[in-house]
Amino acid sequence: MIGKVSPRGSRVSGLIYYLFGLGRNEEHTDSHLVAGWRHPAELEPPLRDDGHRDFRHLTGLLQQPHEALGDRGFAKPVWHCSVRAAPGDRVLSDDEWAQVACDIMHRTGLAPYGRDDDAVRWVAVRHADDHIHLVATLARQDGTRPRLWNDYYQVGEACRAAEERFDLRRTAPRDRTAARRPTRAESEKAHRCGRPEPPRVTLRWAVSSAAAAASSEQEFFARLDGVGICVRKRFSTRNPGEVTGHAVALAGDTAREGGPVWFGGGKLAADLTLPKLRCRWNVNAPGSGERFTVTERSALWEDAARVAAGAARQISDLAFADPAGAADAAWAAADTLHAAAAALGSRVLRQAADSYDRAARAQYGRVPRPAQPGNELRRMARLLSAVSISGDPVLAQATLVGRFARLVEAVAYLRDAQQRAAQAAAARRAAEHLYAAMPGHAGPAARRHVPTRTATERSRMEFPFPPGMVQPETEPLAGAYRSRKPGPSPSLSPGSRSGRSPGR
């Protein structure tokens, strides 16, 4: 069950008229109230002689508390929330939907249980089998304004409680691991303009790829500029010249007023804000501008496969001994996937990287503590971004993709052990895409379904290597592609130097 809080409005009468109407495509049927601050039978709009409903009494009652507040009221007092059950769920009765609506109003604090005479006025309209709409005016009947805080998350908690109560399909928690999805308006605009995907999706991929390939903030912005992405920096008001944030836009994607449509990093994904991107970069790390010979590139592909296999082993070992280190490795694996997809120009690898993003992120926008496996993966991502695939060995690339698949499977086991079903499912989808990119290879059926571990198994701190995973090689590769510049070697074999960077 999913609840969506819409932007606030100013006219409750227009919204009520729409909810009781036929809908844009005449999809509304049998519109009626299932709940409200009073019994639905008292509030149901009556039929007029011409067969149409009379909404004046209902809208008048809804507007009264707001009109009583006068200038102290909200400029946009109409709160609207739609709640929908998943396809395949059983059809809930009006009484069951009424319980869902009352719980939402209670959890948001708009209408706590037992305080209907003092709280806001609200109604719940049902015009389809699978969803309802909640409408409230943000003015309490005791003459004060309601306090509304984190209503989006409170609605989500109410939906999960309803799933438990009525045995419905479970949805993922709102833990900010999922990327921000394009709105309906963005998708329709992309279709009208002939774009293959909404700008938000294109920009998220461009920012993620640039962040994975860059070793510094300056290189990050330069890479975005190099692929034609418009960048707007936000500067500190206290310290002029200090960059505190950024926004990006696609060239040609304009708003109604004619200016570009800007997306802040946080509007793309929780880990794409500038402060969190800075946690990925080490100013002392080798850049990705160097080009390699064919022999060096071959060695790089092979060493990248070794690093991926070693990271998978370390994620398994650190799952309970060092959860923060395992979380950093899982996060850094996303950078390596993005870099490999860009280097190979593979649509399937891009799909794998997109699917894996949710599995990589820490909950609630947190940034994992840097650890050795994550640092090695990030360095490899920067080196892969410098690879030209012309003439490169196909076998080495296929081996790398296979190791990536097993690395992603290890992350799926990690998320299963942490009881994060949505992130585990995202990792398994990414693994399926990676196996699909390997000609003539299909992951075993066991890899496509990983049972959730029990509390007893987790208490034993067991984290076995995924079935069929090849044990990683730990011996360092000969430095065939070592930097020809003075300074530390960029070799990313498990025996190379790494650790927390001074800049972090």
DSSP state letter for 500: -
End-to-end CA distance of the chain: 41
* Calpha distance 455→161 (Å, rounded): 22
Tell me whether residue 175 is in a domain: no
Mutual orientation of helices 323-344 and 294-321 as an angle, nearest 10°? 150
- The two structure tokens encoding residue 277: 């991107």
* Calpha distance 137→126 (Å, rounded): 18
Q: What is the pLDDT of residue 466?
A: 38
Verify that 263 and 205 share a domain, yes or no.
yes
Closest CA to 121 of 106, 110, 133, 109: 110
Q: What is the pLDDT of residue 365?
A: 84
Q: What is the pLDDT of residue 117?
A: 85
Verify that 319 and 255 share a domain, yes or no.
no
- The two structure tokens encoding residue 469: 């995973």
CATH number of residue 72's parent domain: 3.30.930
Verify that 136 and 60 share a domain, yes or no.
yes
Tell me whether residue 283 is in a domain: no
Out of 249, 278, 307, a domain closes at 278
* Calpha distance 123→17 (Å, rounded): 13
In angstroms and rounded to an integer, the radius of gyration of the C-alpha atoms of the chain is 27
Cβ neighbours of residue 327 under 8 Å, at least 6 residues apart? 362, 368
* Calpha distance 234→83 (Å, rounded): 36
Regions of the chain with pLDDT less than 70: 25-26, 282-294, 388-393, 439-504
Q: What is the pLDDT of residue 230?
A: 95
Tell me whether residue 504 is in a domain: no
- The two structure tokens encoding residue 349: 């690898």
Cβ neighbours of residue 130 under 8 Å, at least 6 residues apart? 84, 85, 87, 89, 91
Verify that 301 and 449 share a domain, yes or no.
yes
Verify that 242 and 338 share a domain, yes or no.
no
Tell me the β-bridge partners of 132.
Answer: 83, 126
Cβ neighbours of residue 502 under 8 Å, at least 6 residues apart? 284
Cβ neighbours of residue 424 under 8 Å, at least 6 residues apart? 359, 412, 413, 415, 416, 450, 452
Q: Which amino acid is at 394?
A: V
Sheet holding 32-36, edge to edge: 2-5, 78-84, 131-137, 121-126, 32-36
- The two structure tokens encoding residue 467: 């079935």
Verify that 14 and 85 share a domain, yes or no.
yes
Q: Which amino acid is at 336?
A: T
Supply the range of the domain harboring residue 188: 184-278
- The two structure tokens encoding residue 207: 């920012």
Verify that 202 and 155 share a domain, yes or no.
no
Domain count, the chain: 3
Tell me whether residue 484 is in a domain: no
CB 21 within 8 A of CB 67: no
Cβ neighbours of residue 7 under 8 Å, at least 6 residues apart? none
Out of 244, 278, 312, a domain closes at 278
* Calpha distance 390→68 (Å, rounded): 72
Q: What is the pLDDT of residue 438?
A: 78
Verify that 222 and 160 share a domain, yes or no.
no
* Residue 418 dihedral angles phi and psi, to the nearest 5°: -85, 0
Verify that 154 and 207 share a domain, yes or no.
no
Verify that 434 and 298 share a domain, yes or no.
yes
* Calpha distance 263→199 (Å, rounded): 9
* Calpha distance 219→221 (Å, rounded): 6
| 80 CB neighbour count, 10 Å cutoff | 17
Verify that 375 and 416 share a domain, yes or no.
yes
* Calpha distance 344→16 (Å, rounded): 53
Tell me whether residue 286 is in a domain: no
Out of 123, 139, 166, a domain closes at 166
Tell me whether residue 476 is in a domain: no
- The two structure tokens encoding residue 503: 């800049």
Verify that 305 and 260 share a domain, yes or no.
no
Tell me whether residue 377 is in a domain: yes
Tell me whether residue 464 is in a domain: no
* Calpha distance 368→155 (Å, rounded): 28
Q: What is the pLDDT of residue 492?
A: 33
